[in-house]
Every structure is written in C-alpha cells, then in structure tokens.
Amino acid sequence: MSVAVLVFPGSNCDRDAARALARLGVKVRLVWHRDSFRDADGVVLPGGFSYGDYLRSGALAAHSPAIDGVRALAARGVPVLGICNGFQILCEAGLLPGALGVNRSRQFRCSWEHVRVEQALAEGAPVGTVWHLPIAHREGRWLSDAPTRERVRGDGEVWLRYCAADGSVSDASNPNGSLDHVAGLVRASVMGLMPHPERAAEAVLGGTDGARLLTAWASRTGVAS
C-alpha cells in the first residue's frame, strides 16, 4: 500500500511532500506523470510550476496522461490531494469546481495564514479546527460563476476557509481575495488546497500544523502507520 506523489515538468514541491508523508510513516513513491500508478492507495499532486505555468497555472498539466489515472482512481474513491499547483491542476481538469485566478493584489503572496476546517473529513480534523500554514502563489484566488458558487455552498464542497487565528472569517483574513474565503475544496475523494502543508510539517520549518493536516488526509488512504 502506498501513496503516489506525481511529478510533472516544473514540479518543485514533490520531494517536500514525499518527505513530509514519509515522516508520518506513509509509504511514498515519486511517479513521473507519464508512468502508471493505477495501484496507488492515494495520490498527491504537488506544488510547483507545472509546464512553467504557461497559459494558466495547471492548464497544461490538466491534459497530462497522469490525469486519466487520477480520474480513474478518484472514480474508485481513492483519496486524491492537490497542493497549490496541484489544486490548480484539479480545477483545470474539472475534478474540483471553479478556477484559481490571479490574487486580488495582482502580486505573488508568500506568507503564513490561518485556515479553518469547514468539512470534518478525517479523524483529528473536526469542523472548526484552525491550522497555521504557509501560502506561496500568485494565482490562488478561487473564482467561479454564480451557479457553481451556490452549488459548492449547497453541496458542502468548501473544505478550508482563510480565517484569523481565533477562527473568525473576514476580508482582513483573506490573503488573495478568494470568493467565500475558500482556501481548499473537496468533492467526494478529491481534495485541494492552496496552502502548503508540507512546508509546515516539522518544527524546524516554523510549524507542525501541516503534519496534522497530512496525518488526517493519510488516515483516509489507510496507508498511515
């Protein structure tokens, strides 16, 4: 049993994600986006700049051979996690709703932010849990048309929202202008978020909330020790 961490041309957080999961006792293998991972018990699409972010972030990777494999596994209920660029890819591929556009500031944002759990999808991460995680993106503003936005709300597909340290939500705690303060989404077994949990998985990195998030996700795959 293992988790496949996909590697696209331009990925640069693949080994970070693999290391963070391995430290949690998860068996991990790095998989080039053209290779098979059909036997994986979980899949991570890591952060980075797949295909140099040409066209739009994640747009080219969404047409990679790997996405057919991701679709097939997701259809079987295998957990899929997209981090930053991985989240962008999942949205571009239609596996998660909406799209990630340029930040409201029009600038690259690199900062630590708080996010609040809106859907209790794993043990150890109940609704209201607040995590402190780093972001690093220019295109992280979640956008959608009005019907999609209403359906996302109605179907409970918001997984994480940007918030203050006390869990309160306001425009002041929204670093990129995401609609409904969305920091992460979920649809069935597919989850995506803009913050980087793998960059907050060890105290030496500045925080360990990322390890808690990854532990909760790994518990869904059944591969955590």
Cite the active site residues: 84, 196, 198
Neighbour order of strands in the sheet with 130-137: 28-32, 3-7, 42-45, 80-83, 190-193, 182-187, 158-163, 109-117, 130-137
Cα–Cα distance for residue pair 5/14, rounded to 1 Å: 6
**Distant-in-sequence, close-in-space partners of 119: CB < 8 Å, separation ≥ 6:** 127, 156, 157, 158, 159, 186
Give the tokens for residue 210.
């990322």
User: Among 70, 10, 11, which residue's Cα sits nearest to residue 36?
Assistant: 70
